[in-house]
Amino acid sequence: MGSLASLAEPGLGVNACVDRLKRYHYALQRTWRLLLARLTAEPIYELKMAWSLHAHLAAEHVSSLRERVAEMRHPPLGLEKIPHEGLRLLFDEIQAAPTAADLIHGLYAVALPALRAACAEHLAETNRLADAPTCRLLKFALLELDEMLEWGEAALASGLPVALPPRGGAEWTALLQQCLAAAGGLSGAAEAAGEVPGPHFSAGPWKYDKVPQRDGRFPDPYNMGVHAEAFLYDEHFPARAKTLMMYYKRLREIDVPEMMASILTEMGDKPWGFYRDLTRQLWDEARHAMMGEVGFVAQGIDWSRYVMVNFTWSKGLNEQLTPQERHAVLWFIEQGLMNKTGKRFEWEVGTASGDVLAELFQDYDWADEVLHARIGRDWFVKDFDNDPHRAAAYGSACWSKVVSDWEQLRRDGLTEHRNWWPGLYGEFCRVRGETPDPAVLAFATTYEETRADLNRISASG
């Protein structure tokens, strides 16, 4: 905590402390919001995943800051008030950044370093005895801000800005710095210098893009040629081969953050706890996708050559349903995962397979799903007088509203619904030096069969 002499030095008063905390809160809430708003239409897989995590971290610190402000004689909290026009423009500009490289530069090389510096300065200036609860919160925030900044630095040092050059340039960076200077720095503790500049990228109205995009590792995103569940629930097939199908199912969960981000972006006027909990769930679903990716890597399989991961679910829901209806579908699908053909079954398959990684991943996947069921009860079923039957009927009705004409997709030349399973299983056997089991290799279903089953078994989760 510090020496007695240092504790005897006065520091920031309650009002000054709260003013600064509200600015950190604003910066983190804008960070959370803009990362979610950008991840669906961002094609690059690693960016979708990183932004899912960073949105979650930002949301957690937003929650801590809200709680701390509420402790400091501050009802009404005034947390929705924009603390300074300069800060508003700073984040409006980053949110409207035309390329991912601009966004990463603006957020991770300008805004978040300013937030980090403000938190560190606050920690140095406040009285560590009188304001100990704030110090604790700031220490945790610094830990995770450093992780975010490290990621941003690595992203900017990677091939990304070379492949997709930023358009902002030095002038745009200067504009962002002017925003901060006019606001007296992120904390407002510095002397305000200069005027808030005019907008650049954010000059026009901002338009949210909720249509999912994927990068080159997803070459056939309309493919519905493999009915994963039909394979998984067929007791004639061996558990070891089923782990491959489970890794595919996990990786396919990339569509859940793509869809949930649109709920969080478009659904206004909910209590903060709703956004916090759903953002945690969004990050869990991104983790599930990465578990699939890691599973394939562990098998020595380059998944992007063998597995066709579709985006038809997130695309259909985002384009055809309201945010409330999307939330209903999500809950409807997830509550279906709690029965004995759901998460427990997948864990049992992992256990029986001898693939300890599959067992471990399914163990945590199941645990996460129990949490998601709780989140669904808190934020969805509650709106149906806590009646899960009525909630499920509504979710089912919303789900059946989504039109997906797979035959039309084929006629339009978007996909051939190719059966990629034999290629994946063949590669798995080749890597292991094993002879393929003819029955497993021959597994094939039509997309009509998949479609007929979709209401019974979830596409995602």
C-alpha–C-alpha distance, residues 339 and 7, integer Å: 57
Which segment (111-119, 237-245, 351-359, 372-380) binds Fe ion by CB under 5 A?
Answer: 372-380
Question: Site for Fe ion (CB under 5 A): how many residues?
Answer: 4
Pick 335 or 415: Cβ nearer Fe ion: 335
- Min separation Cβ 361 and Fe ion, Å: 11
- Min separation Cβ 280 and Fe ion, Å: 11
C-alpha–C-alpha distance, residues 83 and 186, integer Å: 10
**CA neighbours within 13 Å on the CB side: how many for 437?**
11
- Min separation Cβ 335 and Fe ion, Å: 10
| Residue 199: alpha-carbon gap to chain centroid | 28
151 contacts 47 by C-beta, under 8 angstroms: no
- Min separation Cβ 173 and Fe ion, Å: 38
DSSP helix/strand/coil, 87:
helix
Pick 30 or 48: Cβ nearer Fe ion: 48
Which segment (4-12, 195-203, 277-285, 429-437) binds Fe ion by CB under 5 A?
Answer: 277-285
Query: 235: burial class by Cβ within 10 Å (0-12, 13-18, 19+)?
Result: exposed
Q: Which of 174, 202, 18, 196 is nearest to 93 (CA)?
A: 202
230 contacts 453 by C-beta, under 8 angstroms: yes
- Min separation Cβ 461 and Fe ion, Å: 5
C-alpha–C-alpha distance, residues 461 and 214, integer Å: 19
Q: Which of 156, 155, 194 is nearest to 175 (CA)?
A: 194
Which segment (84-92, 201-209, 245-253, 404-412) binds Fe ion by CB under 5 A?
Answer: 245-253
Residue 416 one-letter amino acid? E
Which segment (36-44, 188-196, 307-315, 370-378) binds Fe ion by CB under 5 A?
Answer: 370-378
- Min separation Cβ 292 and Fe ion, Å: 10
Q: Which residues of 116-131 are buried (b: 16+ CB within 10 A; e: fewer)?
A: bebbebbbebbbbebb
Which segment (30-38, 95-103, 284-292, 344-352) binds Fe ion by CB under 5 A?
Answer: 284-292
Distances (CA, A) of 49 to 69, 167, 460: 31, 24, 17
Q: Which of 115, 345, 385, 366 is nearest to 243 (CA)?
A: 345
User: Residue with structure tokens 């051939």?
Assistant: 416
- The answer to whether 288 contacts Fe ion (rule: CB under 5 A) is yes
Which segment (188-196, 249-257, 340-348, 412-420) binds Fe ion by CB under 5 A?
Answer: 249-257
- Min separation Cβ 281 and Fe ion, Å: 6
3-state secondary structure 187-243: CCCCCCCCCCCCCCCCCCCCCCCCCCCCCCCCCCCCCCCCCHHHHHCCCCCCHHHHH
Pick 152 or 257: Cβ nearer Fe ion: 257
Pick 242 or 372: Cβ nearer Fe ion: 372
Pick 23 or 326: Cβ nearer Fe ion: 326
Pick 193 or 367: Cβ nearer Fe ion: 367
For Fe ion, the binding residue among 61, 84, 276, 372 (CB under 5 A) is 372
- Min separation Cβ 371 and Fe ion, Å: 8
Which segment (15-23, 99-107, 283-291, 302-310) binds Fe ion by CB under 5 A?
Answer: 283-291
Pick 49 or 114: Cβ nearer Fe ion: 49
Which segment (150-158, 209-217, 246-254, 389-397) binds Fe ion by CB under 5 A?
Answer: 246-254
- Min separation Cβ 454 and Fe ion, Å: 17
C-alpha–C-alpha distance, residues 108 and 145, integer Å: 10
Pick 297 or 367: Cβ nearer Fe ion: 367
C-alpha–C-alpha distance, residues 375 and 394, integer Å: 17
- Min separation Cβ 375 and Fe ion, Å: 9
DSSP 253-285: TTHHHHHHHHHHHH--S--HHHHHHHHHHHHHH
- Min separation Cβ 190 and Fe ion, Å: 44
DSSP 408-420: HHHHTTS------
Pick 34 or 244: Cβ nearer Fe ion: 244
Pick 56 or 372: Cβ nearer Fe ion: 372
Pick 66 or 372: Cβ nearer Fe ion: 372
Chain residues binding Fe ion by CB under 5 A are 253, 285, 288, 372
